Structures are given as C-alpha cells and as structure tokens.
C-alpha cells in the first residue's frame, strides 16, 4: 500500500484529518514498515525538541501535582480492537517480542566472540581486546528497541539497580550467549556490572555459565549465571577491569577458566 505509506510523515506531524488518521491507524496495525518509521520519526522529533525547550511557569508544577492527586490511574489493561498482534503482556513487564524494532535499525548485535584463546591465562590481553573492541563497536550501535524494553523490565525492581542505571559512566550494551540475549550494564565508577537476560539458554547438564572480569589479561571469576531463563547477575570489582567474558564451565564454576571458548565478551 504505497499510497498509505506516503502518509507516514503527515501522520507523525498530526497533519491528517480525523478520517485519514483512523484509516492510517488501521493500516499501521498491519504494516510493520510503517510502524517502524512512525516510531523512529517520533524519537527523532523528541531529539529535535531539545532545541526548543521552554520551562513552564513555575506554579504549573504545583497545579499539576495537585490535580493528579485527586485522579486515579487507569488500569493497565486497555480494551483493544481485535488485532492478532496486540495480545501483549502488561506494560509493567515488557516482553521483547511485543516490540517491533525498526527494520532499518541494526539487528541486535551478536556478541558471540569467536573461539579466541582464553583459558591459557598467560595469553596476552590484546587479542581479547581487539576482538572485544570490534564487537563493541557493533554492539553500541545496536542498542535496540528490544534492549530498551528489556531494560525497562529489568529496572522496575530495586534501588541498587536504579543507582547503577543512574551512574554517569554507565555503559549499556547488548550481547548474545548461545542464542539467548543478554544486556550488560557496566559502571566502572560504581565498580559494578549487571548482566541480565530474559531467555538465557541452559548451559547443559552439570554445566554453568560463568562470568569473568578481565583485568590486565587475567580473568577473575565475576559471577555464575543461573541456568536458563530470566537471570540477573551482579558483578563487583569491575573498576580496574577491561572486559567481561562468559564461558561454559562445570557446574558451580571454576576458579579459572577451563576452556578456550569464549561464549560472549564485552569490553568496557
């Protein structure tokens, strides 16, 4: 429907009349390309908005806060028109699959490092970092819609996380581990990192995923990821480190990596 597609700009600019808007809303329900474009254009306009910020009159704050305290919030479940794709979980717990990432944005980057040497503790860190840097360049460009929704669900919970999320030097990067998606949140200033996943694959019988903090070429055990599904692992002592890596280790973890195969890596 190329004619419909040509209305994307007018739709985003609120330049359609009511009939056209309804028509386009219906079109959007079935056109992922238009949805992605609408999404990205709106985000861009938010950025443009930074150029014409204007503080509202000071008394407006009290007026608004006064107004809302007498108004109850609507429940999360919104009655929706029957559209196959709108079966969504409650917004409080966003599921990645509910989001349509713009097709023109890069796919979630695969941070599977090739099996470069690891496990031989004397191996120079430069190999690592070269691989990690290449991976990171891709990773940071690919902070996707999925990731944001992942983060939203991640951060709904507690203050420690909020604190990490507020770190001025926070690095957020996506990754994958054996086909499952990970999100790394790292703050060297806070000295901590959080690795999260909502669909971590099982590491295999009698195996564990183990996170290592790379410090000057020497891996130090950071954390074990619980096997499978939704996980969050805190890692301390990342301040002096340069990278996080994940390997598949015997159940319960190892004091030092027992394998060459780095399953995932992130430099920070």
Partner 1 sequence: MTDDVGPPARRVADTAANEVLAAVFARVCEGSEEAFAELYDITSARLHGLILSVVRAPDLAAEITQEVYVEVWRQAARWSADKGSVRAWMHTIAHRRAVDRVRSVQRETEREVRWAGTTRESEPDHTWEGVEQRLEVEGVRAALEELSTLQKEAVSLAYYGGYSHREVAEILGLPLGTVKTRIRDGLLGLRSVMGAGT
Find the binding residues for partner 1 in span 198-217 (CB under 8 A): none
Q: Does 97 bind partner 1 (CB under 8 A)?
A: no
Query: Binding partner 1 by CB under 8 A: which of 73, 84, 205, 206?
Result: 73
Site size toward partner 1 (CB under 8 A) is 81
Stretch that binds partner 1, among 164-172, 192-200, 219-227, 248-256 (CB under 8 A): 164-172
Query: Binding partner 1 by CB under 8 A: which of 167, 191, 227, 259?
Result: 167
Stretch that binds partner 1, among 36-44, 114-122, 210-218, 220-228 (CB under 8 A): 36-44
Question: Is the separation of the CB atoms in 29 and 38 below 8 Å?
Answer: no
Query: Binding partner 1 by CB under 8 A: which of 2, 19, 46, 126?
Result: 46
Tokens representing residue 22 in the block: 């309804």
Q: Does 63 bind partner 1 (CB under 8 A)?
A: yes
Cβ-defined contacts of 154-162 (< 8 Å, 24+): 154/183, 154/194, 154/196, 154/232, 156/92, 156/93, 160/234, 161/194
Q: Are strands 192-200 and 180-187 parallel, antiparallel or unpaired?
A: antiparallel
Residues in region 125-154 near partner 1 by CB under 8 A: 133, 136-137, 140-141, 143, 145, 148-149, 151-152
């Amino acid at each position: 429907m190329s004619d419909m597609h040509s209305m994307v700009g007018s739709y985003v600019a609120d330049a359609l009349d009511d009939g056209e808007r309804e028509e386009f809303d219906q079109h959007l329900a079935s056109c992922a390309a238009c949805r992605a474009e609408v999404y990205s254009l709106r985000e861009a306009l938010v950025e443009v908005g930074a150029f014409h910020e204007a503080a509202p009159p000071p008394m407006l704050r009290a007026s608004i806060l006064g107004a809302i305290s007498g108004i109850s919030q609507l429940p999360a479940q919104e009655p929706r028109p029957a559209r196959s794709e709108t079966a969504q979980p409650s917004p409080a717990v966003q599921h990645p699959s509910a989001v349509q990432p713009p097709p023109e944005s890069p796919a979630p980057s695969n941070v599977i490092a090739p099996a470069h040497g690891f496990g031989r503790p004397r191996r120079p860190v430069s190999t690592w970092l070269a691989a990690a840097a290449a991976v990171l360049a891709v990773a940071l460009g690919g902070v996707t819609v999925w990731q944001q929704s992942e983060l939203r669900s991640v951060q709904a919970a507690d203050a420690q996380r909020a604190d990490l999320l507020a770190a001025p030097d926070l690095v957020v990067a996506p990754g994958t581990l054996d086909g499952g998606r990970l999100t790394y949140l790292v703050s060297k200033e806070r000295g901590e990192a959080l690795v999260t996943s909502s669909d971590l694959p099982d590491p295999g019988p009698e195996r564990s995923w183990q996170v290592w903090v790379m410090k000057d070429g020497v891996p130090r055990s950071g954390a074990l990821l619980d096997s499978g599904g939704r996980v969050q692992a805190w890692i301390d002592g990342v301040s002096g480190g340069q990278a996080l890596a994940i390997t598949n280790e015997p159940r319960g973890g190892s004091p030092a990596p027992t394998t060459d195969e780095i399953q995932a890596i992130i430099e920070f």
